Amino acid sequence: MHKRTASRSLCKEEFVETMVKAGLLALSAVILFALGTSVEADEGGKAGDDESDLGVFTVQWENDTLSRTDRHYTNGIRLSWVSPKLKEQMPWAEDALRWLYPFDPGAKARIGVAVGQSIFTPGDIAAYELIEDDRPYAGWLYLGLSLHVDAKQKVFGTDVDFLDTLQLNVGIVGESSLAEQTQKFVHEAIKVQSPNGWEHQLDNEPGFALILERKWRTPALEFVGLEADAIPNLAVSIGNVDTSAGAGALIRFGDSLSVDYGPPNISSNLTGREFFDRVPGNFAWYLFAGASGRFVGRNIFLDGNTFGDSHSVNKNYLVGDLQAGAAVVYQNWRLAFTYLIRSREFEHQDEADRFGALNLSVRF
């Protein structure tokens, strides 16, 4: 690993400071907007009566500690906000976005903004030397912008709900992602093994991923007073961070399943949506299980830097995920836990990875 000069370190610090400030400014702006629109709705006497009045703020955390491991995809955190229905609160935004994605006038369109960080390490974080046959140390700090369109379509003569998501993530891979500082701080705070190989991490590289996903939600089958449905999906990602295509399906069993499309996850293409609807009685719950597979054309966290030499491993082009969990919605709150198993992503990986995901969403 080459040494950074003082001037390069200064540029890195300035870049990171700018990224953090921009992220906080964007997130603050949308939160203030959400509070403003909610206050307006309250003054109009409609807050809580129409699900389009409120936006949703979500905190997501994924970590392998929840499965008692500490390796590979080891931590992900993401803060996001999804707007109320654009036609109700921001008609100008709905009109402006139609040229990008011509959705049906009756659809529920929303926009979202997010900031997140993901951390990747080899299996032996105690080692100081480069572990050539294990995945590189890497971090990913990013801002995300998204468009969500929720509508209906005819499938074999039956109305089926569907959700389209168009998302752009833009950020930085490498030292400026602050992944090294984040992991070392947390490991020191909880008194566990310090990661010693971060000098071998990927070099700084601007990154992006453009993601398009469609989910269908089948009409719920009712029995013994409860419901069951299926949520198949297709997803495509293009970018130097991730280029892939995949498909999957989620099966749910519970009460008031129309509340959402499953809980949102950071790193799986079996993710739901951050937004959720108000339900009769202000309470909903469900259990879920799903499977997905994807073809991976590029994964920077395995393939290494795009425009320079770096540590890399030979990736597997086909990767699968299994997941199961539970979600509970009470009034304006949703809490969900997901346990995920991911097949081996590269040669010489000795076994599948496991990690847990917690997410908490609130409507306001």
Query: How many distinct structural domains can be found in the chain?
Result: 1
161 part of a folded domain: yes
Q: What's the pLDDT at 8?
A: 42
Residue 268 scores a pLDDT above 70? no
Q: What's the pLDDT at 281?
A: 84
Q: Rounded mean pLDDT of 119-135?
A: 95
Residue 73 scores a pLDDT above 80? yes
75 part of a folded domain: yes
Give the residue, 327 or 27, on which the prediction is more confident.
327
Q: What's the pLDDT at 42?
A: 39
Q: Which of 18-27, 40-49, 198-207, 344-353 has the lowest mean pLDDT?
A: 40-49
1 part of a folded domain: no
Whole-number Cα distances in Å, 101 to 98, 109, 274: 5, 10, 20
Q: What's the pLDDT at 214?
A: 92
Q: Rounded mean pLDDT of 154-167?
A: 86
CATH number, position 186: 2.40.128.140
Q: Which of 263-267, 273-277, 298-302 has the highest mean pLDDT?
A: 298-302
Q: What's the pLDDT at 364?
A: 81
Q: Rounded mean pLDDT of 149-170?
A: 88
3-state secondary structure the chain: CCCCCHHHHHHHHHHHHHHHHHHHHHHHHHHHHHHHHHHHHHHCCCCCCCHHHCCEEEEEEEEHHHHCCCCEEEEEEEEEEECCCHHHHCHHHHHHHCCCCCCCCCCEEEEEEEEEEEEEECCCCCCCCCCCCCCCCEEEEEEEEEEEEEEEEEECCEEEEEEEEEEEEEEEECHHHCHHHHHHHHHHHCCCCCCCCHHHCCCCEEEEEEEEEEEEECCCEEECCEEEEEEEEEEEEECCCEEEEEEEEEEEEEECHHHCCCCCCCCCCCCCCCCCCCCHHHEEEEEEEEEEEEEEEEEHHHHCCCCCCCCCCCECCEEEEEEEEEEEEECCEEEEEEEEEECCCECCCCCCEEEEEEEEEEEC
Q: pTM of the full predicted structure?
A: 0.84
| Band (162; pLDDT cuts 50, 70, 90) | very high
222 part of a folded domain: yes
257 part of a folded domain: yes
Residue 174 scores a pLDDT above 80? yes
131 part of a folded domain: yes
How far apart, in whole angstroms, are the C-alpha atoms of residue 101 and residue 114?
20
Range of the domain at 114: 6-363
185 part of a folded domain: yes
Residue 40 scores a pLDDT above 50? no
| Band (153; pLDDT cuts 50, 70, 90) | confident
| Band (271; pLDDT cuts 50, 70, 90) | low
Q: What's the pLDDT at 207?
A: 96
Mean model confidence pLDDT for the chain: 85
